[in-house]
């Protein structure tokens, strides 16, 4: 099994975030001196230009797999969805399930089952996901029309889903995001200030910016503005489909449990109030080190990262 390494987790916020990503196809894509498979999730450090594997295609129990949505949580847990049915950590999943994998224990659980979706398509494919600390999902899917939490939406919409109330609300409409009103969100990460890091299924125009399918852009829903955050030209491989299929920033500010953009008093209170064994290890955001309980290491992580996030 591939060892999970999160070097940013205990560093100061000023050192910036590394990127976790997966690519669409097995076309000999190379990044940071590594060859990537479409089932790999790799960690890329923009400053040094180096990459290493966080989750390897070989870690899955079902052979060939294609990761098409990923989010790395504060405790190092990897939330993902795949293009094909598969298995990991003794858990089998469908291509419409969202799964949380715990590298520290090798365990896994389905956190958003495909069965919660209704209508539209016979098979939902979640192709972009971000799991907030409060358990709500920011996501998009790959189909023309599917329904979740009472909301029917398309592949270019970005939605907030609350599993407790089974309610979904539209965060960004396809018609507002894409300059031509039509496109497919391929990966996303929600930042503390409300901006979104996005990748797309094909080359697009966003806020007047021409975007390649291997670019990651930072998009401001409030203004509609977009800038390139990660360029497709960063890949070592050329003349290939260097398509970013899934993305997440690694949590240099993992202890920001309340999503305020800073680590402070209220984050400390969340750790103290959750002290002890986690009733549900799959839903225990204060367990920052992924140990299954909230304790002194989690408290030290809050103190280590005290102050504004990058």
Residue 237 belongs to domain with CATH number: 2.110.10.10
Residue 307 belongs to domain with CATH number: 1.10.1330.10
- For 51-86, what is the HEC assignment? EEEEECHHHCCCCCCCEEEEEECCCCCEEEEECCCE
303 burial (CB, 10 Å; 0-12 / 13-18 / 19+) is: exposed
**Boundary (domain end) residue, out of 252, 267, 293:** 252
* pTM of this structure: 0.79
pLDDT score, position 251: 75
Residue by residue, pLDDT tens for the chain (310 residues) are 333 333 333 332 223 478 999 998 777 788 998 888 888 999 998 888 999 999 999 999 976 789 999 999 877 889 999 988 999 999 999 888 999 998 888 999 999 999 999 864 456 789 999 998 788 999 999 888 889 999 999 999 999 999 999 999 999 999 999 999 999 999 999 987 889 999 998 999 999 999 998 999 999 999 999 999 999 999 988 766 688 999 999 877 778 887 777 889 999 999 999 999 998 766 788 888 777 889 998 898 888 888 887 6
CA–CA distance, 77 with 301 (Å, rounded to integer): 16
Q: Which ranges of the chain would DSSP assign to H, the alpha helix?
A: 174-177, 265-273, 296-304
Contact, 13 vs 305, CB < 8 A? yes
**Boundary (domain end) residue, out of 236, 252, 268:** 252
**Does 61 lie in the same domain as 142?**
yes
Instruction: Kindly state whether residue 115 falls inside one of the protein's structural domains.
Output: yes
**Does 203 lie in the same domain as 284?**
no
Instruction: Kindly state whether residue 4 falls inside one of the protein's structural domains.
Output: no
Beta bridge partners of 6: none
275: domain range?
257-310
**Boundary (domain end) residue, out of 252, 271, 298:** 252
**Does 232 lie in the same domain as 93?**
yes
Instruction: Kindly state whether residue 6 falls inside one of the protein's structural domains.
Output: no
The domain tally of the chain equals 2
**Does 206 lie in the same domain as 82?**
yes
């Amino acid at each position: 099994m591939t060892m999970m390494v999160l070097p940013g987790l205990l560093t100061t916020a000023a050192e910036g975030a590394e990127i976790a990503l997966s690519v669409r196809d097995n076309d000999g894509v190379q990044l940071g001196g590594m060859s990537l498979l479409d089932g790999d999730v790799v960690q890329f450090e923009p400053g040094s230009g180096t990459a290493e594997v966080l989750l390897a295609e070989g870690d899955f129990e079902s052979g060939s797999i294609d990761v098409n949505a990923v989010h790395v949580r504060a405790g190092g847990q990897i939330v993902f969805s795949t293009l094909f049915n598969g298995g990991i950590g003794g858990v089998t999943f469908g291509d419409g399930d969202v799964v949380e994998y715990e590298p520290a224990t090798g365990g896994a659980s389905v956190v958003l089952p495909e069965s919660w979706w209704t209508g539209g398509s016979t098979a939902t494919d979640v192709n972009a996901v971000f799991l907030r600390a409060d358990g709500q999902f920011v996501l998009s899917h790959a189909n023309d029309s599917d329904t979740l939490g009472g909301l029917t939406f398309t592949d270019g919409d970005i939605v907030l889903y609350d599993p407790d109330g089974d309610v979904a609300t539209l965060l960004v409409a396809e018609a507002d995001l894409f300059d031509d009103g039509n496109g497919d969100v391929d990966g996303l990460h929600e930042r503390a200030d409300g901006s979104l890091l996005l990748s797309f299924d094909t080359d697009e125009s966003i806020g007047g910016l021409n975007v390649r399918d291997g670019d990651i852009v930072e998009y401001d829903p409030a203004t509609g503005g977009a800038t390139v955050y990660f360029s497709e030209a960063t890949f070592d491989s050329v003349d290939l489909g260097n398509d970013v299929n899934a993305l997440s920033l690694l949590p240099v500010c993992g202890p920001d449990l309340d999503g305020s953009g800073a680590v402070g008093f209220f984050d400390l209170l969340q750790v103290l109030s959750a002290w002890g064994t986690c009733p549900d290890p799959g839903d225990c955001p204060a367990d920052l080190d992924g140990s299954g309980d909230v304790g002194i290491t989690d408290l030290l992580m809050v103190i280590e990262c005290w102050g504004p996030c990058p």
